Amino acid sequence: MILDLLQAYPAKESADHLKPLTSDELSGLCALSVPVPVCLTEADVEIGIQAAQLLSDSRSVLTALEQLSQDFPKYASSVARRVTPKQELKEEIEKNSRLAQPGLSAIWLNGLQLHDTQVNPLA
């Protein structure tokens, strides 16, 4: 499923697919204007946005998420070298990142933020 999704994006002809990813390929054009948490680099954020774009193109998002997360190293270079996130997705992630304070968890369900007392992960 992931390979089919990746095929929808054109291969960048300038990229040598046999070489490891460069820091420029990982960082891409990260347009988030919010500070990146200390534990993440801009490259981590950009490849995460690219992965989110790939998943949003899937007809079965949860299945695609499961496959991508279980074997991410296999797909990382293709995601970084092929997927170009849409501006709308970048704007949505930027907007949502302003709502979550650094170091705190936040949970949204259908656009409504839930308080941690409303959620029982063990149920």
Q: Average pLDDT, stretch 3-32?
A: 64
Q: Average pLDDT, stretch 82-94?
A: 90
pLDDT score at 63: 93
Closest-CA residue to 49 (of 32, 64, 37)? 32
Q: How far is it, in rounded angstroms, from Cα 59 to Cα 96?
A: 23
pLDDT score at 100: 75
- The answer to whether 81 and 11 have CB atoms below 8 angstroms apart is yes
Give SS3 for 69: helix
pLDDT score at 13: 63
